[in-house]
Amino acid sequence: MKHKALIGTLAGAGIVTAALALALGPLAPAASAATAKTSGMTPHQMGIRGAKPKSATTTAPLAYGGGPVETTPGVYIIYWGSQWASGFSTGGYTSAQAQTYNQDFFGNVGGSSWDNTNTQYCQGVATGATSCTGATTGNTITNPTGQLLGVWTDNSTLPNRITQSGIAAEAVKSVTSGVFPFNPNATYFVYTPSGDSMRGFGTQWCAWHSSTSSGGNTYAYAYMPYIPDAGTSCGMNYVNSTNDSFGNGYFDGFSIVGGHEYAEAITDPHPSSGWTNSSGSEIGDLCAWNSNGGVSGNITLGSNYFAVQPLWSNATTTSTGSHCVMSYPN
């Protein structure tokens, strides 16, 4: 039996949201996660704290690889699993608070000076270029407000084992089900609940992004496990040593890791055809966990503040000479 998703609009935010009602059960899509045919790229991972960085200390710039970037970036959030609908708690915080933290971050990051660092990159210039001098209108990355385009809770039962192919299929399902439109300038973020994550999370990596092809479309998507499950290995209390009622401190990793994947998906949505260095590192890798002289910190977005890492800037440096910057001029 098929049921329709309940679709509405978040008041004052203009965000499309689709919640699968518990009374109705999970959505039966035209092409389910089990049946959607996808082909995916190797995921580009953010390593845990203390892991060997992809690139040694460097001042070498990112170079353009000839592929697309997200010129008008957007984010769709997919909460995969019935646990999101029923709710759970860890560390004194509820899953609803975690969702609020993540949605407030992505709902307000657009237009910020931190996000503006991405705007120095583009598509359509010569392969190997290290700047966007001469890039034509429409080919440069922009920084609009309101980049959170939709939120969906998929009440489907999670598989016994979370895999990349399953995550890719879930991203595709959000479109083939009719919940979200296909958007080549957006990243589809798939979140799994506490205790359910892909192997390697918290011991090797914190999150990753990739691309997958299905039905003639190529999707940029990212995987976000429940980051607090990894503790300090993935950013808990990395910037804020004490926890507050909003989740700063305990949820630091969500915005540090989520921001890392977001910036990398914008500048290199189909890894590694966008902006990378000779070692394959992206805009976030070069500054992850305060590498290359970067210093993580809080940025104010809307009425809250969030912990983020610096991003690599080819064009500018900090006062100490680091290319890992926390803001970029308009």
Antiparallel, parallel or unpaired: β 44-47 and 217-224: unpaired
The answer to whether residue 76 sits within a structural domain is yes
Contact assessment for residue 201 and residue 230, using Cβ atoms and an 8 Å cutoff? yes
The reply to whether 182 falls in a domain is yes
| Residue 253 belongs to a domain | yes
Q: What are phi and psi of 43, to 5 degrees?
A: -70, 145
3-state helix, strand, coil in the chain (%, to 5): 20, 25, 55
Q: What's the structural domain count of the chain?
A: 1
Instruction: Please report whether residue 42 resides in a domain.
Output: no
For residue range 7-30, what is the model confidence (pLDDT) as tens digits?
333 333 345 555 433 333 343 333
Contact at 8 Å (CB) between 82 and 194? no
Question: What would the DSSP string read from start to end of 70-126?
Answer: -SS-EEEEEEESHHHHH--EETTEEHHHHHHHHHHHHHH-TT-TTGGGGGG-BSSS-
Among candidate residues 94, 46, 75, 99, the one with its CA nearest the CA of residue 271: 46
Boundaries of domain holding 206: 6-37+47-325
Is residue 63, in this structure, part of any structural domain at all?
yes
Model confidence, pTM: 0.90
Kindly report, residue by residue over 223-241, the tens digit of the pLDDT.
999 999 999 999 999 999 9
In a domain, 16, yes or no: yes
pLDDT band for 51, please (50, 70, 90 cuts).
confident
Could you tell me the end-to-end alpha-carbon distance of the chain, in angstroms, rounded to an integer?
52
Residue 1 counted as domain residue: no
330 within a domain of the structure (yes/no): no
